[in-house]
Amino acid sequence: MTDSNMPDSAEERVSLEQRGHVLIIRMERNRKRNAIDSLMTQSLDAALNRLDDDPDLRCGVLVGGEQAFSAGTDLADGPGEPTDRGGPYGVIRRRRHTPLIAAVEGIAYGGGFEVVLACDMVAAAKSAQFGLPEVARGVIPTCGGLFRPWQSLPLTVAKQLVLTGQPMSAPRAYELGIVNVLAEDGDALEAALTLADQVCQNSPFAVSTSLSVMNDVLEDEEKLGWSSTEQATERVLVSEDRQEGVAAFLEKRTPQWLGR
């Protein structure tokens, strides 16, 4: 269902459903493979604000569509400005104290994968795929994709994801530790809800405190990653390859790289 408390502009992007102490946040832009535009950013920010601010909520589950969790940034319209509490997409740099689980069916590419990496746990369907294809567009991952994969993956595998732009299957991601639970196709949400129920059986205060400590430590470790990414992004944004890559993607043609 669509929550009546969401602003009108957000209703077309995200729906909310509360099951007990669990908030299901469902991205609803399936015709665009849940590409993140400014309205999606606002929608996700509002939903996650509620997750952290409502004392009755003990866990959240973020889910996309059957074919795509999210294809990342909407290259035509852009993702809008980072939000005060959530940063990019309203998700990526949020200081959450309520656990968030990603339920992934289909593709999680680019920013969509970076949203997954910003969650605390992941349940994925066997046919799901994770990827960072930015280099094929003449850009780079800007929302943690250059350093967060290392928290779960061997460094060589993380570099393979970034430098080749080729996707990783859910079974491989499960084997390497990015995915907590591997589900049959169509069952990722139920698998995520099982994890959420396990979280909700525990002391909310102990869970919140534990999550806060772990996230504080990770935030300290990520400071260099964020500053280096920001510097690299400034260089890439003015490059001719970036202009060519985005144009080629929108025009559905092979890019002609200039290397500058």
Active site residue 134: yes
How many helices and strands (H and E) does the chain possess? Answer: 8, 10
Q: Which residues of 239-254 are buried (b: 16+ CB within 10 A; e: fewer)?
A: eebbebbbebbeeeee
Strand order from edge to edge, sheet including 14-19: 14-19, 22-27, 59-63, 100-104, 121-125, 181-183
In the DSSP assignment, the letter for residue 4 is T
Work out the angle at residue 166's Cα, subtended by the Cα atoms of residues 192 and 215, and round it to the nearest 5 degrees.
45
Q: Hey, what are 114's tokens?
A: 């970076």
* Residue of 12, 28, 134, 175 marked catalytic: 134
Active site residue 114: yes
In the DSSP assignment, the letter for residue 67 is S
* Residue of 66, 81, 114, 184 marked catalytic: 114
Give strand pairing partners of 16: 25
Q: Hey, what are 72's tokens?
A: 């990342």
Contact 106, 65 (CB under 8 A): yes
Give catalytic residues, as residue numbers. Answer: 114, 134
